[in-house]
Amino acid sequence: RGQGAYLNGRRIHVSAQKELSKSLVITEFGASRDVEKMKNHFENYQNILPKVHGIRMLGAAALNLSMVAMGAVDINFEIGTHAWDVCAGELLVLEAGGVVIDPTGGKFDIMSRRVLAASSEELAQEFAKQLTQFYPQPRDD
């Protein structure tokens, strides 16, 4: 901690993107096919898609957080992840100059099974305001 984030020996940094409308978002749908959870995800996607440059899904929370850390995407949010899915990625984002918060805009709690990472506090908070649905998850602790 406190030494920065590196990829193949090269220092990495989050993007400099400040505008939500130009931001590339990465997220995951998750493994659950619970009807209510799917409805909540779709409501969030429907709300945020017109307000951002694009949305991508690659398949793993750790990979998604790494993409934020290296500046390949600007925002990552996920609901339903476990602590072990995000613990290393959180550190990468922070060491690369980004922020990690709760998707409601509050302080990140690794046991909450929710995460929002972004290149800046301002971008994270602006994005958090766009999310309307938070499917209840059992905590990891």
CA distance readout (Å), 1 to 10, 16, 48, 88, 91: 16, 22, 33, 11, 8
Q: pLDDT tens-digit profile of 4-53?
A: 999 999 999 999 999 999 999 999 988 888 898 889 889 999 999 999 99
Instruction: Please answer whether residues 78 and 64 qualify as being in contact, where contact means their C-beta atoms are separated by less than 8 angstroms.
Output: yes
User: What is the token pair recorded at 59?
Assistant: 């398949």
For residue 57, being part of any structural domain is answered with yes
Residue 86, classified by CB atoms within 10 Å of its CB into exposed (0-12), middle (13-18) or buried (19+), is: buried
- Return the pLDDT at 76: 99
For residue 133, being part of any structural domain is answered with no
**Bridge partners for 11 per DSSP:** 6
Q: pLDDT tens-digit profile of 60-111?
A: 999 999 999 999 999 999 999 999 999 999 999 999 999 999 999 999 999 9
Q: Sheet containing 114-118: which strands, arranged edge to edge?
A: 54-56, 24-27, 75-79, 114-118, 99-101
Give dist(CA 21, CA 37) in Å, integer. Answer: 26
For the ranges 55-59, 78-82, 103-107, 131-135, the lowest mean pLDDT is seen at: 131-135
pLDDT at residue 134 tops 80: no
Tally of domains in the chain: 1
pLDDT at residue 133 tops 80: no
74 annotated ligand binder: no
For residue 64, being part of any structural domain is answered with yes
- Return the pLDDT at 36: 87
Could you tell me how far CA 96 lies from the centroid of its own chain? 14
For residue 89, being part of any structural domain is answered with yes
- What mean pLDDT is predicted for residues 127-141? 88
**Which CATH number is 94's domain given?**
3.40.190.80
For residue 7, being part of any structural domain is answered with no
pLDDT at residue 132 tops 90: no
Q: Could you tell me the residue range of the domain that residue 114 belongs to?
A: 14-128
